[in-house]
Structure 1
Amino acid sequence: MERERFFAMPFSRIYPLYIQKAERKGRTKDEVNEIIYWLTGYDEHSLQQQIDSEVNLETFFRQAPSINPNASLIKGTICGHRVEEIEDELMRQIRYLDKLIDELAKGKTMEKILRK
């Protein structure tokens, strides 16, 4: 039941939290967007459509144009779990985004965050 509630959360409610977290650490909304574009394949217009449509997390990731193939290079812990060991694909994708935003807030360079 808890899993379904989590996936049902509107992305439009989580997105501002990502921005706030980044801005508290001196980073920008544009950097958050760049991370989202890189991970999901959305562009400025399609991301805004998803936000305006108030799609839930599950729909946001299921409709993503293309999850970046380098996402599998994202390693480490998030919420007490090793992101690379999360078996549920959708949950792993959500945690990838969480991990990238954490890296941004911790001051990593965009080059390292985007696994270039």
Structure 2
Amino acid sequence: MATTATDRIRRTSVASVHVHYVAKAERKGRTRAEVDQVIRWLTGYSQDQLEALLAAKTDFETFFAGAPAMNPNRFLITGMICGYRVEEIEDPFMREIRHLDKLVDELAKGKAMEKVLRGS
């Protein structure tokens, strides 16, 4: 059975991508704290839980499956990311990945945190 891109993403550690999210945000004058705030908003993890998951090199599949409270407002995240319309992605796992990508992208583009977090 061939390994798909989705399979690779499921097994990728959140920590290995988190450093890129932070670097992207910092290049645009944002902070790691803001990136972490976006992740906590989306998933419901506390900062301590997030730090532990990053240190443990938890993969994305486990990360999303164990999220304490996926934010119901995440479905307000729309638009294009990586060539796909977020709201049209059928695979629930890939939609969550793209929600996170889109939030970090909006943060890096200078959007106000209130707007990035959909007013909450």
Q: Give the alignment's TM-score, normalised by structure 2.
A: 0.94
* Residue aligning to 1:59: 62
* Residue aligning to 1:46: 49
Which of these residues, 10, 14, 24, is aligned with residue 11 of structure 1?
14
Shift of 1:7: 1.1
**Matched residue SS, 2:16:** helix
Shift of 1:6: 1.6
* Residue aligning to 2:103: 100
- Alignment-mate amino acid for residue 23 of structure 1: E
**Matched residue SS, 2:111:** coil
Which of these residues, 65, 68, 73, is aligned with residue 70 of structure 1?
73
Shift of 1:82: 0.3
Which of these residues, 81, 84, 98, is aligned with residue 84 of structure 2?
81
Q: CA separation in 2, counterparts of 1:99 and 1:114?
A: 11
Aligned length: 116
Shift of 1:12: 1.0
- Alignment-mate amino acid for residue 85 of structure 1: E
Shift of 1:106: 0.5
Shift of 1:109: 0.2
Q: What is the CA RMSD across the aligned residues, in angstroms?
A: 0.7
**Matched residue SS, 2:29:** coil
Q: Using the aligned pairs only, state the percent identity.
A: 53
Q: CA separation in 1, counterparts of 2:108 and 2:64?
A: 22
Which of these residues, 20, 24, 42, is aligned with residue 21 of structure 1?
24
